[in-house]
Amino acid sequence: MTPAQEDEVLARIAEGLVYTEPESASQNSERRTEQIFDYDHTPPREEGRRRSLLVDILGSVGERTVLLPPFHAAFGSNVHIGDDFFGNVNLTFVDDVDIRMGHGVMIAPSVTPTTTGHPVHPARRVDFARFSGPIVIEDKVWIGSNVVVLPGVRIGYGSVIGAGSVVSRDIPSMTVALGTPCRVVREITDEDLTTRLAGR
């Protein structure tokens, strides 16, 4: 593929248009597969090595971050996390384009933010054709277990996403949202300063 062709493919990816596996091959140098394997197999006592690997893997990483292994990523280099991030086990980043997480984000086990989907008609899925849209998770968001966040979604500041939800559209700040598809069920207010559960 010529540089001009690569630029054309990258432009289509950035616009959320369909592209194929062969067309995306020019991005393979950005994959951090080996480093992710090393991270997932580094003993807990080697905190310094884990931190060093995480800095090498991710596009950017803040301070006081915790990412419990195992985690998985298509690239790793397209993931950006802020300060005071906590990610529990089996976090899977499908990061063909950027996934950006703010400060103070908390993620429960087995969550999948996926920037990439596939066309509905099988004739358009030749050569693993797909499209991608960036994901933004703003500061202080808490995401429950087994949540899937779909391409192009933004989750607003301070929001809570209930366990098992499929987030297919933007979620506004300071709300509790849950379900499949994920929907806002209420706002977060000062009354929540005296309660323990999201639903009470």
DSSP states along 110-168: S-EEB-EE--SSGGGGGGG-BEE--EEE-TT-EE-TT-EE-TT-EE-TT-EE-TT-EE-
- Cross-strand bridge partners of residue 137: 101, 155
- Triad 36, 38, 44: Cα angle to 5°: 105
CB 28 within 8 A of CB 9: no
Active-site pick, 72, 103, 118, 121? 118
Catalytic site includes residue 80: no
Distance between CA atoms of residues 80 and 99, nearest Å:
6
Residues annotated as part of the active site: 118
